[in-house]
Structure 1
Amino acid sequence: MTTTVQPFHLHIAEAELDDLRDRLSRTRWPDPETVDDTSQGPPLAKIRALVDYWREGYDWRRCETMLNRFGQYRTEIDGLGIHFLHIRSPESNTIPLIMTHGWPGSVLEFRDVIGPLTDPVAHGGSASDAFHLVIPTLPGFGFSDKPTATGWNLDRITDAWITLMDRLGYEHWGAQGGDWGAAVTSMLGYKAPPSLIGIHLNMVLFQPTDEERENATAEEQEMLGRMQRYEEQFSGYYKLQNTRPQSIGFSLADSPVGLAAWIYALFQDVSGSDGKPEDVFTFDEMLDDIMLYWLPNAGPSSVRLYWEAMRSMMKGGMPTQPMSTPTAISMFPGEQGGISRRWAERRFANLVHFNEVDRGGHFAAMEQPELFVTELRSAFEGMR
């Protein structure tokens, strides 16, 4: 095994982009939905508009250049090549921070917060707010390698992230995450390696107890209602990917429109856009993310993480005792899996920051980058 860290320069062959355009031009479209809302999934007209832009107006080379400018690297950990962004701050009083994306996100979830977090002075902030950022791509996602056997579960990914931060020479560091990134970051908090100073979550994976449900406040009842709505209306993808990821994998690998619609559904359903993702995300932002699944054929391999995680949970999953690692939580109102302060205090023994912001959803860093940056600065203020 090699332990070197190698620069990674991304350049997709033009033939691959030509193939994509050809596939898009030969799409066989489904009939329109028979309802006038999103209850059957993404509306045909919305996906056609996105694909028309993808075929005729989208510029992959712009995205490629942006990724290369951030600074991309790869290193082998536990037999698997891991891709990551590494952006060092020009400031000296910094906290190294590993930030983990989720599904159907990517390292590009953080594109608009990289500058303010690493160079706060250039963005109207204070030098004391600076972070070094490490933003890895989950195994099977983007330009990380795809596991060829079972076993790459959350526990193994967490150990890989500890190895990565050690390999980069960081003796003390923090961690941040939402979605699967929240699961990995929480696992880091439970493992509590000596180098970890604290974590920040914009989503908390938990199940309210029967007692908590029975004694829920009005605010908590609203949270329970959102959880129930997610379970009843929005979680079809989750159940399928937990149990039969290969079934959807064929479509995600072969059809760019199928992949785009599958991902668009999450931008539609769990963002703070009230079912209108175009009001929150540009076509470029959505397609950049989709391309990080299409180009490396990472659709099938990425959804297997659900299958892996489900099997881990069946064997025990996350620890149940309160976490002792310093923890900060930021709740965005569009997040389907919200948690109240009192529910959080029962699960995190060292809750150093808890705040409910007034806008934003599941893709917090993409939807509300300024609020996200403010929350991170507040979260780690006392950990420096």
Structure 2
Amino acid sequence: MQIDPFEIAIADEDIDDLQRRIRATRWAPATPAPAWQQGADGAWLRELATYWAGHFDWRAAERRLNQLPQYLADVRGQTVHFAHRRAATVGPGFEAYPLVITHGWPGSFFEFHALLDQLCDPAAFGGDPADAFHVVTPSLPGFAFSPAPAQGGTSAFQVADLWVALMRGLGYERFGAQGGDLGAGVSIALAARHPHAVDGIHLNFLPSSYEPAISAEQQPLSPAEHDYLREKNDWVALEGGYAHQHATKPLTLAASLNDSPVGLAAWIGEKFRAWSDCGGELESVFSKDDLLTNISLYWFTQCIGPAMQMYWENRLQPMRFSGAQRIDTPVGFALFPKEINHPPRSWLERTFNVVQWSDMPGGGHFAALEKPALLAAEIRKFFRPLRRKAR
């Protein structure tokens, strides 16, 4: 497998074009309504756009991103961009454990920057250096600097195949996996398709398409499971329009969002507010610079359309398990209170070997950005016995 070092270097003319487009925005008229009731708030969006065009320093963000060791790999004909950060402490008595972490939408590999500090150098945060990881954070195909697949059919299951090949190319025959959002689906697919390579998976989200294997030998649905399914359906009816559009007509939406930076910021920014534990105040959790670094990655790489394509592919290959199918790979789950769904443990245990379950005290969908220390502690705890067993 060919692996080449990579550094982000956006052309000056692309930065100038972005700023010009923002300043030339044709703002949409709207009937007066309470802020955020019908989507992205106009006043907030104008403020963000003004900052993006006049104050946001992409070059500073680029230097920050390039502090991560990044690479491009040819994995079975698919170019995969990834960051590979090794443990800070190595040597006798300190065997770092390999871990692949997968992002989702509307995130990117950037959302793990604080989490990587915690995982790769736990001693710097008062932790045990024996808990250190070598962490690989790939960009999903079609996201950021991983180009879109040459043809259709790349769902979470095919991404899992790519990740196994990537990790083996890096010298990791066995490893752990972690993810939320789309990355949770990839992590589940890794456990389902590659149990001999994956020691365990840690999740902070359950894909909405997941349906467990329910057999005659199992208990009927509990009241908590009925409540969960009803709440999930209610959420989809009110908040799930974005996913239905992504999964059914992604190209129509991409034509707009790839041409309008303010439209892209509205589409992504609204989700960061709605899905995080910010109490309605985005900047209580995410700085403008962090939010715009992530949005700018989507803009400069023109990946919004290919990113939405993953929803199309996952709709065709959902996370559904039939018969008495079970996944024996150990699973850990961290349930953050402002996550967009809240499955009961029993719902996962119908298919998965859940060995660790934690109800977290704060945080939402973007746990790695919102609560990196809490998430890192959960990941360390989950993989601690598995790394011992793998030695």
Which bracket does the TM-score occupy, shorter chain normalised? over 0.9
Identity of aligned residues (%): 39
Pair 1:36-2:34 in alignment: yes
| Alpha-carbon distance, 1:123 to partner | 1.9
Counterpart secondary structure, 2:123: helix
Written as runs of structure 1 = structure 2, the 5 A alignment for 1:1-384 is 3-91=1-89, 92-205=94-207, 206-207=210-211, 215-217=222-224, 223-224=228-229, 226-313=231-318, 317-320=319-322, 321-348=325-352, 350-384=353-387
Counterpart secondary structure, 1:240: helix
TM-score normalized by structure 2? 0.91
| Alpha-carbon distance, 1:273 to partner | 2.2
| Aligned mates of 2:7, 2:99 — CA distance in 1 | 23
| Alpha-carbon distance, 1:274 to partner | 3.5
Counterpart secondary structure, 1:336: coil
The C-alpha deviation readout for 1:159-196, integer Å capped at 9, x for no partner, is 00000000000122100000000000000011134221
| Alpha-carbon distance, 1:77 to partner | 1.3
Which AA in structure 2 matches 1:359? G
Give the alignment's Cα RMSD to 1 decimal.
Answer: 2.0
| Aligned mates of 2:355, 2:283 — CA distance in 1 | 35
Q: Is the 8 A contact 1:33 1:44 kept in 2?
A: no
5+ residue gaps, structure 2, are: none
Q: Is the 8 A contact 2:4 2:72 kept in 1?
A: yes
TM-score normalized by structure 1? 0.93
| Alpha-carbon distance, 1:146 to partner | 1.5
Counterpart secondary structure, 2:278: coil
| Aligned mates of 1:37, 1:233 — CA distance in 2 | 17
5+ residue gaps, structure 1, are: none
Which AA in structure 2 matches 1:292? L
Which AA in structure 1 matches 2:190? L
Q: Is the 8 A contact 1:234 1:269 kept in 2?
A: no
| Aligned mates of 1:271, 1:97 — CA distance in 2 | 25
| Alpha-carbon distance, 1:279 to partner | 2.2
Q: Is the 8 A contact 1:33 1:43 kept in 2?
A: no
Counterpart secondary structure, 2:350: helix
| Alpha-carbon distance, 1:90 to partner | 2.7
CA 63–297 in structure 1, closer or farther in 2 if over 3 Å, else same: same
Q: Is the 8 A contact 1:177 1:202 kept in 2?
A: yes
Counterpart secondary structure, 2:17: helix
Equivalent pairs counted in the alignment come to 376
Which AA in structure 1 matches 2:136? V
| Aligned mates of 1:352, 1:215 — CA distance in 2 | 20
Counterpart secondary structure, 1:61: helix
Moved over 4 A (4+): 211-214, 220-226
Q: Is the 8 A contact 1:152 1:308 kept in 2?
A: yes
Q: Is the 8 A contact 1:226 1:336 kept in 2?
A: no
CA 53–136 in structure 1, closer or farther in 2 if over 3 Å, else same: same
| Aligned mates of 2:256, 2:263 — CA distance in 1 | 6
Which AA in structure 2 matches 1:325? T
Counterpart secondary structure, 1:353: strand
| Alpha-carbon distance, 1:33 to partner | 4.9
| Alpha-carbon distance, 1:223 to partner | 4.4
Q: Is the 8 A contact 2:103 2:182 kept in 1?
A: yes
| Alpha-carbon distance, 1:67 to partner | 1.7
| Alpha-carbon distance, 1:226 to partner | 4.6
| Aligned mates of 1:4, 1:193 — CA distance in 2 | 25
| Aligned mates of 1:6, 1:18 — CA distance in 2 | 29
